[in-house]
A and B are shown apart, each in its own frame.
Chain A
Amino acid sequence: MRIKDFPEEELLLPGNAACQGCPSSMALRLALKALGRNTLLAVIASCTSVLQSPFPATAFDLPVLNMAFATGGATGSGLAAAVERLMKKGVYRERPTVLVWAGDGGTYDIGIQSLSGAAERNADFIYVCYNNEAYSNTGTQRSGATPYAAWTTNTVKGKREWRKDVAQIMVAHGIPYVATASLAYPTDLFEKFTRAKGIRGTRYIEILAPCPPGWKFPSGHTVKVARLAVQTGLWLLYEHREGITTYTAGTQRIIHGKARRLPVEEYLKAQGRFRHLFYPERDEERIAEIQRRVDRVFETLEFTHRLKQHIMDIEMLPPR
């Protein structure tokens, strides 16, 4: 897939209420390009509820259902059941894609039991968590997705806990498709949505969404920060299907030794929410702790890759 081949049709219209440089609108715009107009969108309370703009106009040119904070999984299940029924009645010529769109607060914290239940029933919808690593809409409070040492309004000296990993929790549910995506790799993101669309059952996609006002960087740097997250190894790009995880785009290039992994510092320094790690003096301990964690993850990933290559090489040898 090339950028040239992305559909021209816009389902997210300009002149909406999103902030300058908003990653949530960028993510939704690209996702809708991949999924197309035949989509039923359910938005869970978040910035996306607001950026649609107030009644009587909306910036979303497709059917939208605005739902309560904890209801992502249940909403998806209900819509999927309704679609099933309407398909039987012959109301649709083509099966619409059910897309549930929620933030990290709505996914990691308040929505996880509903999502887990829906995944266990393998309800037929795509669930997207656009992860801006905080409750952005209510002014940047910490969530279960906020990373270690990050400032939020209620972690003023930096969060003390490490974030949890909901994409891996979804992998553990054994659903047919789990993927992570980044705004800096739009073709990778587009292809993941296209693949998800072609699968039935619960599909989970998580997009890292660097939020300029929440993470404190200039609005022009949204994509740059998203790219640094991948280049430093702090955000992994992969998809998981039928028990197999495949690393993609920038993450794959690092694992395959085709790109150098950047020091985490470059990512941290680009954002005001980590400023206390550098000013008034460097907090070597916490920076090193973050680096060590990433190093350990990549040691395992690179080892596994080399081992696989090695086994493949042995299998290719002619029999003795």
Chain B
Amino acid sequence: MNDRGRKKGFGGGPAGAGRKVTEVEIGLLTTLSVPARGSVGKTGSWRTFVPVIDPGRCTKCLLCWVYCPEACVSRDLIIDLDYCKGCGICAEECPRDAIAMVKEEKR
């Protein structure tokens, strides 16, 4: 994948566990997975409906950010369409009805 696990130890590790993990040790830990976005690929392809935010209605309450189970709405309310699964929670929970779920043309 990438060399992050090797550089930082156990995927970043708890604060203070900044002990250097040597390559030999890593070599033994063959089942150690490396943290990555898109760990099963671009899950955006699962989508049928795509969320579209209307900035005119949005009050930046951040409810869509907090409820997105996929962590793919950013704090400045940009949706990462590579990974958005189109579940529709953000649209359902928006108190201002500022998010529409729009049928997506297949790419």
Are B75 and A8 in touch, CB under 8 angstroms?
Answer: yes
Q: How far is the CB of B104 from chain A (nearest CB, A)?
A: 14
User: Chain B: which residue is nearest A60 at the CB level?
Assistant: B35
Q: How far is the CB of A181 from chain B (nearest CB, A)?
A: 14
Contact of A58 among B33, B41, B84 (CB under 8 A): B33
User: Chain A: which residue is nearest B85 at the CB level?
Assistant: A20
Contacts A3-B63, A16-B43, A20-B85; A94 near B36 (Cβ below 8 A):
no
Contact of A15 among B13, B41, B63, B93 (CB under 8 A): B41
Interface string of A97-123 (1 = CB under 8 A from B): 000000000000000000000000000
| Count, chain B residues at interface, CB 8 A | 48
**Alpha-carbon distance between A212 and B31 when the two chains are bound, in angstroms:** 31
User: Chain A: which residue is nearest B88 at the CB level?
Assistant: A220
Are B14 and A38 in touch, CB under 8 angstroms?
Answer: yes
Contacts A20-B86, A55-B33, A222-B89; A92 near B40 (Cβ below 8 A):
no
Contacts A38-B15, A58-B34, A61-B11; A18 near B69 (Cβ below 8 A):
yes
User: Chain B: which residue is nearest A222 at the CB level?
Assistant: B89
| Residues in B neighbouring A4, C-beta threshold 8 A | 62
**Alpha-carbon distance between A62 and B89 when the two chains are bound, in angstroms:** 26
Are B69 and A23 in touch, CB under 8 angstroms?
Answer: yes
- In chain A, positions 29-57 with a C-beta closer than 8 Å to chain B are 29-30, 37-40, 52-57
Are B16 and A14 in touch, CB under 8 angstroms?
Answer: no
| Residues in B neighbouring A63, C-beta threshold 8 A | 10-11, 13-14
A289 touches B (CB below 8 Å): no
Contacts A21-B69, A21-B87; A58 near B36 (Cβ below 8 A):
yes
Are A223 and B14 in touch, CB under 8 angstroms?
Answer: no
| Residues in A neighbouring B33, C-beta threshold 8 A | 52-53, 55-58
A10 touches B (CB below 8 Å): yes
| Residues in B neighbouring A219, C-beta threshold 8 A | 85, 87-89
User: Chain B: which residue is nearest A18 at the CB level?
Assistant: B69
Q: Which of B38, B86, B87, B92 has the most CB of A within 10 A?
A: B87
| Residues in B neighbouring A166, C-beta threshold 8 A | none
Are A223 and B43 in touch, CB under 8 angstroms?
Answer: no
Are A96 and B14 in touch, CB under 8 angstroms?
Answer: yes
Are B40 and A16 in touch, CB under 8 angstroms?
Answer: yes
Are B83 and A15 in touch, CB under 8 angstroms?
Answer: yes
Interface string of A64-95 (1 = CB under 8 A from B): 00000000000000000000000000011110
Are B66 and A30 in touch, CB under 8 angstroms?
Answer: yes
Are A25 and B11 in touch, CB under 8 angstroms?
Answer: no
Contact of A20 among B16, B39, B40, B46 (CB under 8 A): B46
Q: How far is the CB of B31 from chain A (nearest CB, A)?
A: 6
**Alpha-carbon distance between A224 and B67 when the two chains are bound, in angstroms:** 11
Are A26 and B80 in touch, CB under 8 angstroms?
Answer: no
**Alpha-carbon distance between A299 and B64 when the two chains are bound, in angstroms:** 36
Contacts A15-B83, A25-B70; A56 near B16 (Cβ below 8 A):
no
Give 6 pairs: A residue, B residue, CB < 8 Å, sorted on A: A26-B89, A53-B33, A56-B34, A57-B39, A62-B14, A63-B10
Given A57-B36, A57-B40, A92-B17, 18 new contacts (CB under 8 A):
A3-B65, A10-B71, A14-B43, A15-B42, A18-B70, A38-B15, A52-B33, A56-B34, A57-B38, A58-B34, A62-B14, A63-B14, A93-B15, A219-B88, A220-B89, A220-B92, A220-B101, A224-B93
* Interface of A toward B, CB cutoff 8 Å: 3-4, 6, 8, 10, 12-18, 20-23, 25-26, 29-30, 37-40, 52-63, 91-94, 96, 183, 186, 212, 218-224
